[in-house]
Chains A and B, each alone.
Chain A
């Protein structure tokens, strides 16, 4: 349909499909690479808070846990990046990810807990029974703070960098793969 075009322009036009297909192919290849390294994840739940400071909140401590409560002021100007983990005793996946949190805490990664919509006694029972990875625990019985965080469900984990900026969010139980493929590189990057 480009009879009027000069031969060289026509040739360029005929090359266009190849160019577009090659560009799309390169993009798809990058996606597949990203899928295996975890950088590209179509299932990842988007968060409006990535790159933003943590929302304002102030949660009371969990009675009997011997840990202070958690407030947004505790998450500003930190010596190293921290994890904020929302959990509940009634949540089975929380139990599944719990060993990973314990391991991270043993390695010295600060983990902050938020007991989400739970009776204090049950939330305490959970960490007494399975171990306490948390340096601080805030009780969010009405789930107000969770709304400000944009919580998708429990368990859910956020990575906060030293300046108190949310860098990463993971909805669902953290597995060993997640720790190796996603969390460790991020902890190193923001250390």
Chain B
């Protein structure tokens, strides 16, 4: 009964979305106040219906309803409750339900927070969001119904993949989807603006919080996925330039460019066409990722079970949304004229440079991801584009990006002079140079990591210089505290975000110095790496809830003093018939000690020992970046309704 209710709720959401998209567009076109007023309640209705469908699916997983084929394939009665719940969005079908739920949440949020939006804009945004919902709900109902029944019921589920039973992975998809789908809102704003033919400062102010929220969630989602790969897969790596990882990085880069260029629209009414384009692009790249992962056109560790039929459906949706939006863009964007003019050397100029570099980075990643597929299709050649290409091609773009990132916030709008900016950054530059030389002195000629340390020191110091400058920390220290409290949160958020990137680069540079060693040890023997001595004390059997494991006891000492005892395991899950490697990780924040148990031979064991300097700072940096986004989001000017008055005036003028 419950699965059928869920199925019905999906159909109801589809019908409501269809009504929403038609009423919203027609109502806004006719300026019919009654039709436009219907969009808010309809958005609530869609949200209730999709939430009902999602709740029904979760319920099926929690009670382990084995008449539902999706439960049979992806769950098992012996799973802990958390993983039963997270299993409901682990499959292709379930993740699509989560996707439309988040879309409906966005619609509800626009209805809830968007009270000060002009009613035509509000109606059009809701209509576009609902139109996206129509496509994906139809996709679910036509090709990927998660409520399909099996008869006779299976005795129990088959989904016990132990690698996927992990808290990091449980929350990775929802965060990622909050990011992907969040860009649907900026997309809807861009399409609505193209229909209205007007982009102004108020539009920039409405769009920016959505871009910021989506970007922050995406940052967290990508970081969580990378962290999971690091501690769970046992390769000691954190980013593999896998096509699906790249697919999540692409909207992140476009969204990062968007939230910077939206500032220019808001403050200076320039870069309008470009910002609208970025808003379309960010969501377009999100959808491209959805297509790549679910259609089967590429192979990846992440790919869902897929079939070309679904691929064709998603491609058609992609054609309608992206093709339609770009068509609208080509037709209407010419009418948008910039009003703010600025010199190349100015805050606006720096933000343009930021956008160019971020978009070039996105282009490099996009080409590297798609090239093997198109080479296979057109040239009949099998090639793979791996980390060497991405590392080589992104570095020349990342270096100027970090250089400019530090100077940008210190520049005034309209017209700046370079000298005063450099004057305020000289000590940051000095710190960067110091870090560069220090790394060379300690580690020898390792240009990559040395550059990384320099960039990290530069970025963090420059973010500090920015804040110090704004609160006049050095010129008038007695008033600094008061000024710090009065400083807009957006400024704090921006500085924190930039510093977070610096912290992340610090971690990346540290990982550039990572070393590893393969050692066959018998009990009592030891290996040395990174100044630590790893002694194998013994190998024993341990039992877990649903696994048995072999566990090595490794005693780590430094200069004879005990540091920690590490216990890497090789787990065997009898029901799932799988063996997994549990890496033992000990962090002291300066480095991760990382031990993986390999095969056992001649009474000893092969240990793979990694010494990963500064590894945790990569994810800490990402978390700081997302925190910066969150603080910026809590800025007063995002919350208060000042722009509405301005927009009303603008409308009156028009």
Residues of A within 8 A of B (CB): 1, 3, 7, 10-11, 14-15, 17-18, 21-22, 24-25, 27-36, 40, 42-44, 46
What string of 1s and 0s marks CB contacts (under 8 Å) between B280-321 and chain A?
Answer: 110010000001000111110000000010011001001100
B160-168, B176-184, B330-338, B636-644: which one contacts chain A? Answer: B330-338
Task: Note all chain B residues with C-beta closer than 8 A to A27.
Answer: 373-374, 377-378
A42 touches B296 (CB 8 A): yes
A21 and B284 CA atoms in complex are apart in Å by: 9
Contact of B312 among A3, A10, A32 (CB under 8 A): A32
List 24 A–B pairs whose Cβ atoms lie within 8 Å, in order of A's numbering.
Answer: A11-B334, A14-B329, A14-B330, A14-B333, A14-B334, A15-B330, A17-B329, A21-B323, A22-B323, A25-B315, A25-B318, A27-B373, A27-B374, A28-B311, A28-B315, A29-B315, A32-B308, A32-B312, A35-B297, A40-B297, A40-B377, A42-B296, A42-B299, A42-B373
The chain B residue sitting closest to A37, CB to CB, is B308
A3 and B373 CA atoms in complex are apart in Å by: 36
A18 and B280 CA atoms in complex are apart in Å by: 11
Q: Does B352 contact A (CB under 8 A)?
A: yes
Closest Cβ of chain A to B48, distance in Å, is 35
Q: Which chain B residues numbered 313 to 370 have a C-beta less than 8 Å away from chain A?
A: 315, 318-319, 322-323, 326-327, 329-330, 333-334, 338, 352, 370
Task: Note all chain B residues with C-beta closer than 8 A to A18.
Answer: 323, 326-327, 329-330
A35 and B294 CA atoms in complex are apart in Å by: 13
Interface of B is mostly: helix
The 5 closest A-B pairs by CB, nearest first: A46-B382, A18-B326, A35-B308, A15-B330, A17-B326
B334 touches A35 (CB 8 A): no
Q: Does B196 contact A (CB under 8 A)?
A: no
A43 and B291 CA atoms in complex are apart in Å by: 17
Q: Does B376 contact A (CB under 8 A)?
A: yes
B132-140, B214-222, B269-277, B420-428: which one contacts chain A? Answer: B269-277
A91 and B363 CA atoms in complex are apart in Å by: 45
Given A28-B291, A40-B376, A42-B299, A3 and B370 contact (CB-CB distance below 8 Å): no
The chain B residue sitting closest to A12, CB to CB, is B330
Task: Note all chain A residues with C-beta closer than 8 A to B376.
Answer: 40, 42
A103 and B271 CA atoms in complex are apart in Å by: 67
Closest Cβ of chain B to A68, distance in Å, is 34
A35 touches B311 (CB 8 A): yes
A7 and B335 CA atoms in complex are apart in Å by: 10
Closest Cβ of chain A to B173, distance in Å, is 23
Q: Apart from A10-B334, A28-B297, what are 19 other A-B pairs with CB-CB below 8 Å?
A: A1-B273, A14-B330, A15-B330, A17-B280, A17-B281, A18-B323, A18-B329, A21-B322, A21-B326, A24-B370, A25-B318, A25-B319, A27-B373, A27-B374, A34-B377, A40-B376, A42-B296, A46-B382, A46-B383
A31 touches B297 (CB 8 A): yes
Task: Note all chain A residues with C-beta closer than 8 A to B299.
Answer: 42-43
A32 touches B326 (CB 8 A): no
A33 and B295 CA atoms in complex are apart in Å by: 11
Q: Which chain B residues numbered 362 to 406 have a C-beta less than 8 Å away from chain A?
A: 370, 373-374, 376-378, 382-383
The chain A residue sitting closest to B271, CB to CB, is A1
Given A25-B323, A28-B297, A28-B315, A11 and B373 contact (CB-CB distance below 8 Å): no
Closest Cβ of chain B to A161, distance in Å, is 16
A35 and B298 CA atoms in complex are apart in Å by: 10
A58 and B84 CA atoms in complex are apart in Å by: 57
Task: Note all chain A residues with C-beta closer than 8 A to B333.
Answer: 14
Contact of A17 among B277, B298, B319, B383 (CB under 8 A): B277
Task: Note all chain A residues with C-beta closer than 8 A to B382.
Answer: 44, 46
Closest Cβ of chain A to B472, distance in Å, is 35
B373 touches A31 (CB 8 A): yes
A44 and B280 CA atoms in complex are apart in Å by: 34
A10 and B281 CA atoms in complex are apart in Å by: 18
A30 and B284 CA atoms in complex are apart in Å by: 20
A22 and B322 CA atoms in complex are apart in Å by: 9
A187 and B292 CA atoms in complex are apart in Å by: 32
Closest Cβ of chain B to A35, distance in Å, is 4
Given A1-B274, A42-B299, A17 and B330 contact (CB-CB distance below 8 Å): yes
A36 and B326 CA atoms in complex are apart in Å by: 29
Query: Most chain-B CB neighbours within 10 Å: which of A27, A31, A34?
Result: A31
Closest Cβ of chain A to B283, distance in Å, is 12
Task: Note all chain A residues with C-beta closer than 8 A to B281.
Answer: 17
